[in-house]
């Protein structure tokens, strides 16, 4: 299904819009409602984050959301339940998780249960190909797309190694920093996307920093997918109540969806 989502976007001469929220935020039901609203407003692919107590890659915005989810008791079972609810919206759903929770849960068991919930893939930002043999085998057995990250510092050889084990798409981190909305998109991201395309035919999606339609249009001009997380989380954090938050993420998703369908200003 991930390939289908990118193919549909390509047919429409645009990039795919990928939206992220951690499961259990702003509440278990609120997360499902927000993700469903995002899909209705134009998000093509959904990432459901598995809250983790040591999120090395996440900035303060996502950390705040994850803390709330963990305090409410959100764990792997709640993540799987969220996936099961959101797949009813008709878009591919991936789980975004650090490696430790997967290893603790059981590699084969985790892959099987994500697939059973209707998930299409799993993003593991801190897993390397060298340490991922069992995981890659488990994903293959469960029919899941494993998505790994590449960074601006990655050598061409490293890009080829990582891309060779990815499924669905390659996640290109636009900066070397943590997650978070930024005033401007990284200037090195276009070069990174070009380098990745030199070693794989998979779509390349760019994440870290996109927060508005203008930035989405800019990234969509050179990448196959635009990944947005912190901006959606911030919209919920800044809202006085859950219903207001749902309206805020709906408006943001519509704005971003318009962005990936437009050309950046000259």
Structural domain boundaries of the chain?
Answer: 2-260
pLDDT of residue 54: 75
pLDDT of residue 176: 43
Full pLDDT tens readout for the chain, 266 residues: 899 999 999 999 999 999 999 999 999 999 999 999 999 999 999 999 999 987 677 778 898 999 999 999 999 999 999 999 999 999 999 999 999 999 999 999 999 999 999 999 999 999 999 999 999 999 999 999 999 999 998 999 999 999 999 999 999 997 544 444 444 456 789 999 999 999 999 999 998 789 999 999 999 999 999 999 999 999 999 999 999 999 999 999 999 999 999 866 54
Known active-site residue 241 = no
The residue annotated as part of the active site, out of 12, 40, 47, 78, is 47
- CATH classification code of 2-260: 3.20.20.70
pLDDT of residue 264: 61
pLDDT of residue 208: 77
Retrieve residue 12's tokens. 């429409």
Quick one: three-class SS letters along 155-212? CHHHHHHHHHHCCCCEEEECCCCCCCCCCCCCCCHHHHHHHHHCCCCCCEEEECCCCC
The residue annotated as part of the active site, out of 11, 44, 58, 156, is 58
Known active-site residue 103 = no
Coil, helix or strand for 96? strand
């Amino acid at each position: 299904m991930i390939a289908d989502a990118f193919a549909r976007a390509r047919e429409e001469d645009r990039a795919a819009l990928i939206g992220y929220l951690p499961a259990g935020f702003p509440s278990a039901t609120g997360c499902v409602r927000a993700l469903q609203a995002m899909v209705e407003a134009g998000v093509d692919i959904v990432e459901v984050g598995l809250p983790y107590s040591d999120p090395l890659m996440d900035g303060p915005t996502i950390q705040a959301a994850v803390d709330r989810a963990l305090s409410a008791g959100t764990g792997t079972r709640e993540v799987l339940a969220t996936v099961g609810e959101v797949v009813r919206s008709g878009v591919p759903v991936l789980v975004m998780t650090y490696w430790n929770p997967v290893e603790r849960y059981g590699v084969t068991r985790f892959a099987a249960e994500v697939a059973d919930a209707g998930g299409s893939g799993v993003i593991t930002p801190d897993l390397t190909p060298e340490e991922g043999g069992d995981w890659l085998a488990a994903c293959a057995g469960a029919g899941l797309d494993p998505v790994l990250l590449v960074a601006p510092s990655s050598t061409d050889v490293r890009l080829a190694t990582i891309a060779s084990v990815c499924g669905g798409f390659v996640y290109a981190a636009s900066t070397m920093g943590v997650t978070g909305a930024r005033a401007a998109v990284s200037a090195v991201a276009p070069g990174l996307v070009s380098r990745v395309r030199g070693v794989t035919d998979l779509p390349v999606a760019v994440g870290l920093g996109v927060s508005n339609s203008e930035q989405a249009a800019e990234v969509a001009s050179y990448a196959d997918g635009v990944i947005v997380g912190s901006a959606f989380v911030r919209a919920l954090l800044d809202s006085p109540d859950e219903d207001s938050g749902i309206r805020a993420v709906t408006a943001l998703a519509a704005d971003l969806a318009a962005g990936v369908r437009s050309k950046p200003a000259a």
